[in-house]
Each structure stands twice: as structure tokens, then as C-alpha cells.
Structure 1
Amino acid sequence: MIHASIATQLASASAVSTHVDPVMAAETVAEQAEGRLTEGCCDLALLFASGGHAQHLSEMTEVVRRILGPGSLLAVTAEGVVGTGQEHERTDAVSLLALSMPGTTIQPFTYQQLPHADPSDPASLGRLGEAIGAGRDLRGVVMFADPFSVPAASVLTAISALPKVIPGLKRAPVLGGLASLAPAPGTNTLVMNDEVLRSGAVGVSIRGDIAIDTMVSQGCRPISTPLIVTKARRNILQELGGRRALDVVREMVEALDESDKRLVAGGLFFGRAVSEYRERFGRGDFLVRTVMGVDQESGAIAVGDAVRVGQTVQFHLRDAQTASEDLHMLLTAQRLQSPPVGALLTTCTGRGSRLFPHKNHDAAAISEAIQTPTGDPVPTAGFFASGEFGPIGNESFLHGHTASAGFFRAKPHRNADDD
């Protein structure tokens, strides 16, 4: 059911509970959010549950709907949840983000409702846009998906292509991620309003008087100069600059210091430029993927993405220090914009205490760097995902090892005919 906001003031609230009783935990976060929303009007509620609480997600969403009465609600089970300045990993916890967004229209959808869309077929893209409620005033999509039953990367590619068929739409960013709690198909839980699913995806499109600014911290640093692909097949990188790819990598690794060589032994990453139309490339210009393996005989390298001749690529390393520096650099850029009222954070299960020496790293970084218009830490909620959604450039991708955030801000004033 399409929801049109009746709110008059942009606001958000977040809350976290680790109460041992899942229903009590849901009541706690819903009541706290209700008390913090200026008008008590909730247009969108996003609920995240981890540990044993995940088994009771349906009951918890009923509680949240009863107390908050949100226009739309999405929920997902996860290995851990995120709140304002805090992260709860591999334990019983629930987190909630409630948003009041005047002048917006929110349309919920499930994966089952989405037609197949080919980015090269305008007619199929048009059907997809209609199914999710996209128009020229689309500000963003929030989506949670089951990793065992949804080709998430293909869905993101199709949604990113909607500007091709919707005049006036410049970009269609997608935020959210993959459910991360269950190890087998049929054991994750997704909720859209009163609909409970064990597979598929749930999402909302958000249109109207809101700005949703995105940030994807891939946490990597380059260790090579930009290189040109001269021979490739699917995800097999065969030649770089006319030389065997493996020979280029070996030469690159030999030039590294000992600490970086140890990082290479733990995992090498590969980035491809998302746009070739640049004279210079920076850290945020590459979509980072894992190097999956090498063929010693042919000198080819398998990477976690399709590559083609003529692309610009670069090799990267990831460690805790680099990941922290990258996140703080991106947050510094966010501070140059107007203060947001709320934030959605999706971070990888491989981050948190598995990567950083201190707890709450990503959530605390946002809380310390970003304040609301009143000077308080921005209300934040989210989850640890087994794959994160977020845009690099104008296209949204399925990521790994990233922290992907969306910041909800008042829409900047423009001309009356400029959506």
C-alpha cells in the first residue's frame, strides 16, 4: 500500500535494546522512538533483530506497528545490529530507525512483485520502475534481501538503470543489504508491513521532499598505478598493458614493503574503475572486488567481477587502519553538507570486532562525526550484513567488507520546477 506522509516536520529516532525478552525489547525501542519523534508521526520504520530475537521477528514487528503505526515497515534478521554509536554482534539485540518525512511518498514492494528487467530493454525497465513506484522525484530505495534466493546484484543493476527510462531522474541509489543470520536457505526472515517472508526481498521506494545522501566505505588503499586491461574473458584477467596479469602482480608485490607483503598473503583486492571518463583516478573511483585465484601456467587471475578489454583497474589492500582512515575521510566529506536527521548503516559481518581492535568502530565513527541540526549525534540504526548495497558513482552494487550508509536530510531548496 502506497503511503503519503502527513507529517509536517522532518525527524527521526533510533533505539536499541538487548532485553532478554524479544517482545519487551521491541516495546522498548518502539516506545523510545515514539517519544523522540517530534509529532509521533512515523512514515517509515526499519527494524533489525539478531541472535535468538530473530526467531520472534514477526511478533516484534507487530509490537512496533501497534505502538508507532508506521506508514511502511521493513525488518530483517542479522548476525548483529547497529544503533547510535553502538554495535551488538552475535548476541540477542534489536535496533530500530523511525523516520518522519513530510512531503514524501513511500511505496513498499517484495521481490516477488518485481518483473524481470534487462538494463538494455527500456520496456522491461519501465515495468520495473512502475512496480517499485519510481518517478523523477525518486530519492532512493531501501531493500533487504535473502542471499540464498535473490540475484541481488542483478536487481541493483536494473534499478540503477531506471534513469534511462524515467525523464528527469538522475540516479536511483539503493541502500540496505543481505540478511546475515541464517546459514541455510529458508531460515532468514524478512518482513514488509504484515507480510512475513523466508526468502526473496522486501523494500521501499522513497519519493518527494527528502534528500538521501549515500556513502560507501570500501576500506581499501591502492598498491598499484591504474592499469589497462588488454586481454580478458568474463571474470578472468589475462593481460594488463600487454603483459601477463600474474607477472604484473608479482612485480608489484616485490616492490612492496614487508608489512604490505604480509597483507597480500592474507588477501589481495582488485578494483575496476566505475567510469573511464576521468583524467585522474582516486580511491572512490574503483569498485573493489576480491582476487579469487591465479593460474600459474597461463598467468591469468580470477577476480570477483566481470572484466573487459579497455577497462582501467587497480590492485588494493585492506587492513583495519586503512578501513578506519577511509571511513573517517568519507565522514569528513559528509560534514560539509547540511546536518542529517537520521542515518541507516549497513556494515559487513567481516568488519566490527573481526576487523577492528575496538568495539563499535563504524557506528561510533558516525556518531562522533555527524550531528543533527540540534547538535546531537545523528540517530543511527542498521545491521551487519552478508553483503551491503550502496552506490559507487551513479550505480548501486552488492559489496563485501564495506560500510554503506544513507543520510536523510532536508531537501535543498531549488527552483519550483526542479525535482
Structure 2
Amino acid sequence: MSPASFVLAHAANSDWQFALARARGELQSQIAERHSRHPDARPFTLGWCYLCDYYADEAEAILSALQAEFPNVSWVGTSALGVSATGVEYFDEPALVLMLAPLPRTAFRLFSGLQPLPMHPTDFPAHTALVHAEGSTPDVQELLQELAARTTTGYLFGGLSSARDRTLHIADHVLTGGLSGVAFGPEVDLISRVTQGCQPIGALRTITGSEDNYVLRLDGRPALACLLDDLGLDTELPTEEMLEALSGTLVGLSTGPSDVTAHPGQFGPDTLVRHLIGVDPQNQVLAIGDEVAEGMHLAFCTRDARAARADLVRIALEIRTELAGSGKAIAGALYVSCSGRGGPHFGGPHAELQTVRDVLGDVPLAGFFAGGEIARDRLYGYTGVLTAFAMPE
């Protein structure tokens, strides 16, 4: 165990006190082992607490217990429909994941509505930021762009809390509404990648007619005709058969130079994947789950386990390759995945997290399944955001 390594613990139980006690005990055991090997190692200062929403009503008690046991640690986190750790996911069951990092106190700063990140701080240059946000917050996309402008790189990563009833996020307090998280200074070395988990089909097209979230024309042709061409479907299909055939189709949108053509067979981070939510066969119009504008690029796509796994392997390999030969290793990692991706979408329970572990190795990793994923200044859907913290080998 390196003195710069993070420590990780997780547990599941219907009794939150039992799960918390087990996870806290595992953390203390790892801390004691680290101290025996590296007595002069830097103390742990930053902690993550991700809770399945079954524990939402106990969030205040859980945070209070963590602050009492680790009084010098600042805590961030959120609730979710599922949480994850190295090689394992807890979905739709009561569980929690805890992770601690030994970062210099001057290298990070928590922020929330109670303690906003200043626009031009004189004492702390925010380089990047981890964000936990509540999806019901008005204008959350605009808030993300405003927050990104308060960092020197403009790079955010994180996700929206998800829950059946009560959503919450944590920044040394249990919070509702708005957003919170932790900003990192330039000395915190991290690498972040986005996986869309979708495979483009057909041609990259340009929207030439639109209104709100309706796509009227693509490349000067009726939008539905283009979709049927790309899928190889008969234009004379009965409506019910057509809707059934289109049920697994999504739309990849981008506004800048397309990364579809630069990377055939995959989407890049400039693409936002959205649902196809309606079809008007008579007027040849498509409705999608976002506003569109003329001039935007559009490619139809599908989601399946093979495409999702291949793209997840790709981003994990990119991180591993970037670190190779640099004299650095992974101290810990965060993984935020869409709540619609876990489990069956990758072919079975834990398959998504096991895929990450197979590539990155058995590094401490904490994460959650979100109601929307954050990368740079954008809010994504159906994606995974993998971030690794680097340390000297």
C-alpha cells in the first residue's frame, strides 16, 4: 500500500447502522495497516460517502457518525438508486460506499449553496471540480456552465443524485436542491474520460429543419425517411411494426465538428445521446428528448451490451495508457454511471464495474448510478464518467 493510496470500504445491510459499522471498521483497519508501513504518511483529509436511497432518511445520522470518527476529514457525496465500488455494484438494495484520500488540505475546497466557489478566488485556484447536483434544480445546465467558468480548465465531472423519494447530496452537510462538490487545485493530478456506450448506425446527418424538440428534416429530406433508411427498414411498414422496430433507437447530437467521423463506430465527448420519444409517420417528423436547432449534427444509434462494454474498455485503456511510462499510478478512482446502464445493460450483475477493474486493476474505486452524468460543463445521459487520481509510483 502506497502512502498516497486512497482507502475504500463498502457494505450492504437492511440495518444502516450495521452497514456503517462494517464499513468504518474496514477503513480503520486499512488506515492502521498503512500507518504501520508508512508512519509519516500524509493524513486522510477528503472522504466520499455514496448512499443507496434506502438510507436517505438516515443520511444526517450517517454523516454525523463519520464526522465524529474522522474529525479531520471533509465529506462529499450523494444518494443514488445504486452505488458502486471496485468490481461490485449495489443496485436497488440498502448499501453504502466510503472512500478516503490523503490530499493536502490546500489542494481542494468544498463548495455548495452554503459556501459557493468564488468567481476569482485569490487564495485557491480551482482547476477542476467534482459536482453532485439535484436534477430538479431549475436551470441546472446553466449552473454547471457558470461553475465551470469558475475553474481554470472548465472541466467538471460528477452526476445528478437519483432516488425513488428523497434526493440529497453532501458537502460537510446533508443538502437538498442546487449543487455541491469539491474543487481541486492544479496539484491534484487526475484523468477523466466519458463513455457513451452507444454505437452509431447509418450516416452522420445535419438537421435542416426543426422546431423545439422536433426534427423535421435531415440533409434536406424528411427526418423519418432518413431514420428508416439508416436502419434498413421498409418505408411501407405498418405503424405498429415501425414503432416496435424503432423502440431501441436513440439519437446522438453534436453542435461542433463531429467526433463520429474522427472515430468511426463510436461517439466522443462532444455528442449528447438522447431518447427518440415520438414519431409522426404522416408528417415524417421525429420527436427527441432535447431541444434541437438547424445546423446541429445528428446520428442515430443503438445501445447494447457489446457496444457498451467495448467503449468502457476503451476509456479505461486510455487512462491506463496515459499513465504508462509517466512514473505515476492510480491512487484512487471515481465512476459515475447512468442508472439505466448498470446490471443487465452490460450482460449481468457487476459486469460494468468488473470491466473497469479488469483494465485498471484492483484500485480503490467509489461511485454511484446517477440521474444524469456531468463532464466538462455538460449534462449527459446514458454515459459513464471515469476519473482516476494519479500519484507517483
Q: TM-score range by the shorter chain?
A: 0.7 to 0.9
- What residue identity is the alignment partner of 1:208? P
Q: Distance in 2 between matches of 1:131 and 1:83?
A: 34
Q: Distance in 2 between matches of 1:262 and 1:365?
A: 33
Residues 313-392 of structure 1 mapped to structure 2, 5 A cutoff: 313-338=298-323, 339-371=329-361, 377-390=362-375
Q: Once the 2 structures are TM-superposed, how far is the Cα of residue 366 of structure 1 from its aligned partner?
A: 1.4
1:191 corresponding residue in structure 2: 170
Instruction: Check conservation: 1:14, 1:95, Cα contact below 8 A.
Output: yes
Instruction: Check conservation: 2:120, 2:150, Cα contact below 8 A.
Output: no
Check if 1:398 corresponds to 2:375. Answer: no
Classify 1:113/1:62 alpha carbon distance in 2 versus 1 (closer, same or farther; 3 Å): closer
Q: Distance in 1 between matches of 2:214 and 2:382?
A: 22
- What residue identity is the alignment partner of 2:294? V
Residues 38-77 of structure 1 mapped to structure 2, 5 A cutoff: 38=34, 39=41, 41-77=43-79
Instruction: Check conservation: 1:103, 1:209, Cα contact below 8 A.
Output: no
CA RMSD in angstroms comes to 2.9
Q: Distance in 2 between matches of 1:323 and 1:44?
A: 31
- What residue identity is the alignment partner of 2:12? T
1:242 corresponding residue in structure 2: 220
Instruction: Check conservation: 2:255, 2:295, Cα contact below 8 A.
Output: no
Q: Once the 2 structures are TM-superposed, how far is the Cα of residue 343 of structure 1 from its aligned partner?
A: 0.8
- What residue identity is the alignment partner of 1:213? I
Instruction: Check conservation: 1:72, 1:106, Cα contact below 8 A.
Output: no
2:19 corresponding residue in structure 1: 25
Mind listing any 5+ residue stretches in structure 2 that lack a counterpart? 35-40, 235-241, 324-328
Check if 1:13 corresponds to 2:2. Answer: no
1:166 corresponding residue in structure 2: none
1:117 corresponding residue in structure 2: none
Q: Once the 2 structures are TM-superposed, how far is the Cα of residue 323 of structure 1 from its aligned partner?
A: 1.0
Classify 1:40/1:266 alpha carbon distance in 2 versus 1 (closer, same or farther; 3 Å): farther
Q: Distance in 2 between matches of 1:236 and 1:112?
A: 39
Q: Distance in 1 between matches of 2:28 and 2:10?
A: 13
Instruction: Check conservation: 2:259, 2:267, Cα contact below 8 A.
Output: no
1:176 corresponding residue in structure 2: 158
Classify 1:279/1:403 alpha carbon distance in 2 versus 1 (closer, same or farther; 3 Å): closer
Instruction: Check conservation: 1:42, 1:69, Cα contact below 8 A.
Output: no
Q: Distance in 2 between matches of 1:67 and 1:111?
A: 26
Instruction: Check conservation: 1:45, 1:70, Cα contact below 8 A.
Output: no
Q: TM-score under structure 2 normalisation?
A: 0.84
Q: Distance in 1 between matches of 2:291 and 2:389?
A: 33
Percent identity among equivalent residues?
Answer: 23
Classify 1:220/1:279 alpha carbon distance in 2 versus 1 (closer, same or farther; 3 Å): closer
